[in-house]
Amino acid sequence: MIKKVYAKIVSIEKIAKETMKMVLENEHISQFAKPGQFVHIKVADHTLRRPISIAETNVETNTFTILFKTVGSGTRRLASYEAGEYLDLLGPNGTGFPLDRVEENDVILLIGGGIGVPPVYFLAKELTRLNVNVHAILGFQSKDYVFYEEEFKQWNDVTIVTDDGSYGKKGFVTDYVHDINGIDRYFACGPLPMLKAVKEELEGVEGYLSFEERMGCGIGACYACVIPTNTKDKYKKICQDGPVLHANEVKL
């Protein structure tokens, strides 16, 4: 259930180039958030809230983590908040990665591109509860942007790819998906061109993609964030039906 809450900023730090990590305290979000869901954050001096994925929750400390890239004025303003301040946010919003069809011993591929890595991390952590085989491929622009390699390594086999080869392997995540054999299911989050390429490359494999779109309400009321689908309704709302959608139902 989505609630409007005030979450206290526990810590905020820069963890890679243009990339901030913020830990927030709020019981509702930390108890109920599922991987793939997001919070819709009110940022001072801005009309519209900003959607940011939940990267981790901790039910013991009632905290949750978000990671964000400072790309424009809203995320830059968000980066200027300090520990101890409160953020007004809605959450948890949207529908996350579906885990109900995951079966024991499945080979699962996680793909994260840039700031698409955080929700995939949350998913990776959740998947450790199930007895499955998880492989992660994470793509970044270049060395300076890489984050969370160690965090992933706790749980999974992980391959880091950079566009320019300045760290890990060189190229795009799609160049390495075939290194993993017998993939039963994949989950991906990242920029649209990456999602398109992943869908094509893994044609035939059951997959779920997490999408981004500019949002108004963030809760399904304004029709700002639709994506065309081949389902009965012909579209889905990314903020409500998504951000995670079945790769085969979306028209890319």
Ligand X SMILES: Cc1cc2nc3c(=O)[nH]c(=O)nc-3n(C[C@H](O)[C@H](O)[C@H](O)COP(=O)(O)OP(=O)(O)OC[C@H]3O[C@@H](n4cnc5c(N)ncnc54)[C@H](O)[C@@H]3O)c2cc1C
Q: Which does 218 bind (CB under 5 to 8 A by kind): ligand FMN, ligand X, ligand FES, none?
A: ligand FES
Stretch that binds ligand X, among 8-16, 70-78, 102-110, 143-151 (CB under 6 A): 70-78
Among 47, 105, 181, 230, binds another protein (CB under 8 A): 47
Closest approach of Cβ 55 to ligand X, in Å?
Answer: 7
Number of DSSP helices (H) and strands (E) in the chain, helices first: 5, 16
Q: Is 71 in the site for ligand X (CB under 6 A)?
A: yes
Q: Is 216 in the site for ligand FMN (CB under 6 A)?
A: yes
Closest approach of Cβ 196 to ligand FES, in Å?
Answer: 21
Q: Is 236 in the site for ligand FES (CB under 6 A)?
A: no
| Binding pattern for the stretch 193-222 against ligand FES, x by CB under 6 A and - elsewhere | ----------------------xxxx-xxx
Q: 51 and 93 in contact (C-beta within 8 Å)?
A: yes
Q: Given the complex with ligand FMN, which of 34 and 50 has the nearer CB atom?
A: 50
Among 40, 17, 31, smallest CA distance to 216 is for 40
3-class DSSP state of 251? coil
DSSP state of 193: H
For the chain, the distance separating the N- and C-terminal CA atoms, rounded to the nearest angstrom, is: 29
| Binding pattern for the stretch 43-62 against ligand X, x by CB under 6 A and - elsewhere | -----x-xxxx---------
User: Can you tell me the distance from the alpha carbon of 212 to that of 244, in angstroms, rounded to the nearest whole number?
Assistant: 9
Total interface residues for ligand FES by CB under 6 A: 12
User: Which residues from 86-115 bind ligand X, rule CB under 6 A?
Assistant: 115
Q: Is 216 in the site for another protein (CB under 8 A)?
A: yes
| Degrees, nearest 5: CA angle 4-208-192 | 80
What lies within 8 Å, CB to CB, of 36 at 6+ separation is 53, 94, 95, 96, 97, 119, 122, 123, 189, 210, 243, 244
Q: Given the complex with ligand X, which of 183 and 243 has the nearer CB atom?
A: 243
Among 108, 120, 123, 227, binds another protein (CB under 8 A): 227
Q: Is 237 in the site for ligand FES (CB under 6 A)?
A: yes
53: its two tokens: 């994925």
DSSP state of 127: H
Q: Given the complex with ligand X, which of 70 and 248 has the nearer CB atom?
A: 70
CA distance to 41, 114, 131, 193, per residue, from 196 (Å): 28, 15, 29, 5
Residues that bind ligand FES (CB under 6 A): 215-218, 220-225, 237, 239
